[in-house]
Amino acid sequence: MSRFWKWFWSLVLVVPLAVFAVWAIWDNTKLFFITMLNGLTLASLYFIVASGFTLVFGLMRNVNLAHGSLYLLGGYVGYFVAEMTGFFLLALIAGFLVAALVGLLMQVAIFRSMQGEDLRQTMVTIGLSIVIADLLMWGIGAQVHQMSAPEWLVGPLRDIPLITAYSKYRMALLPLGLIIGVLLWLFLNRTRVGMMIRAGVDDRAMLAATGVNVNLVFAATFAIGAGLAGFGGVIGAVELSMVPGEDVRLLLASLIVVIVGGMGSVVGAGVGAIILGVAETYGLAYAPTYSVVFTFVILVLVLAFRPRGILGQAA
């Protein structure tokens, strides 16, 4: 694309958004900034869940469509652990561990035996997601499980300029998402295992040839990816709620985040999560019955101009 067209399309995209922002701030400043914060905190949750998805995809070319089920599983486990022990942090750890364990089991028992058969693996994850979702509904029931935030995060945070008050828990999600993003980045870029994972993303066969136990790397990555879904589930159990159907919602969010951001890239997942989270909340606040349309338009625009996502690279 020539420079002119790049400028043209950027203007076509940016000008209406800027006009909307100016109008919205002028119309109702508080609503605009609260919506912004809501969007960013939702983006934080989306990022945590989708980064696990993209990690697994990047390394194993395995679209884990059971990712939403792992999210739901983690959320339920967190809910019951928190109810029994009363410790929120313990719930987070339990959610992560249980989902990671299930993910590990899936990897070792099923995916290892069908290495390289991408499409079949994807179909297996579809089957697994149906079975897991139904087992969860059987065991736990279809009623809504809403977890309460830990005591030190209950209530509003007061005296913020422009918006006066905001939920402490949701506010805490912002740094949490950032921390997890930075940790993941450090893990992938500064540790030996991370280096192996990145090498595996680029060339699996070559990595194996250098003497690395690829199966172990795969298992570890899958466990971390699944664990992140469970971790997100515990957070989501407070922020949203746990009910059958949420798995599909978060799966859709993860799919769109990684399609928009670029598959297999953690930074891309961050970008995609922010775009999706902000667009979704603004849509809900300003045009409730068409909010999905905005998401869809973003998806179409990205696919039309950058088929591999904003930060995606050719496979």
Partner 1 sequence: MSAAEWRNAMNAGSGRLAMGKSVAAPRPQVTAHSFQNPIRVRHVLVLAALLVFPWIATPFLTFQVGAQSLTLGLIALSLTFLGGYGGMISLAQMTVAGVAGYMVGILGTSGTPEISLGWPWWVVVPLAIAIATLAGAFIGWLSVRTEGIYTIMITLAVGVAFYYLCLQNYSIFNGFQGFQQVHPPKLLGINWRDPLPFYHLVLFWSLAGYFFIKYLLRAPFGVALQGIRDNPRRMNALGFHVTAHRIAAYAVAGILAAVGGVLLVWYNGLITPNSAGTSWLINILIIAVLGGLRHPVGPFIGAVVFVLLQTFAIDLIDRERFNLVIGGVFLAIVLFSPDGLLGLWAALKLRFASRSKSLTPRGDSR
- Residues forming contacts to partner 1 in the complex (CB under 8 A) are 61, 63, 65, 110, 114-120, 122-124, 126-128, 130-131, 133-135, 137-138, 205, 248, 251-252, 255-256, 258-259, 263, 288-293, 295-296, 299-300, 303-304, 307-308, 315
Smallest separation (angstroms) from partner 1 to the CB of 275: 14
Compute the chain's Rg from CA coordinates.
20
Between 8 and 296, name the residue whose CB sits nearer to partner 1.
296
User: In Å, what is the CA distance from 79 to each residue of 7, 75, 120, 305?
Assistant: 49, 6, 33, 42
Q: Do the beta carbons of residue 74 and residue 232 sit within 8 Å?
A: yes
Between 11 and 130, name the residue whose CB sits nearer to partner 1.
130
Between 168 and 249, name the residue whose CB sits nearer to partner 1.
249
What three-state secondary structure class fits 26?
helix
Between 161 and 288, name the residue whose CB sits nearer to partner 1.
288
User: Residue 179 burial (CB < 10 Å; 0-12/13-18/19+)?
Assistant: exposed
User: In Å, what is the CA distance from 168 to each residue of 155, 230, 304, 315?
Assistant: 6, 22, 39, 41
Smallest separation (angstroms) from partner 1 to the CB of 210: 17
Smallest separation (angstroms) from partner 1 to the CB of 141: 10
Residue 240 DSSP one-character state: S
What three-state secondary structure class fits 165?
strand
Between 169 and 222, name the residue whose CB sits nearer to partner 1.
222
Smallest separation (angstroms) from partner 1 to the CB of 171: 27
Torsion of CA 9, 10, 16, 17, to 10 degrees: 140
Smallest separation (angstroms) from partner 1 to the CB of 178: 26
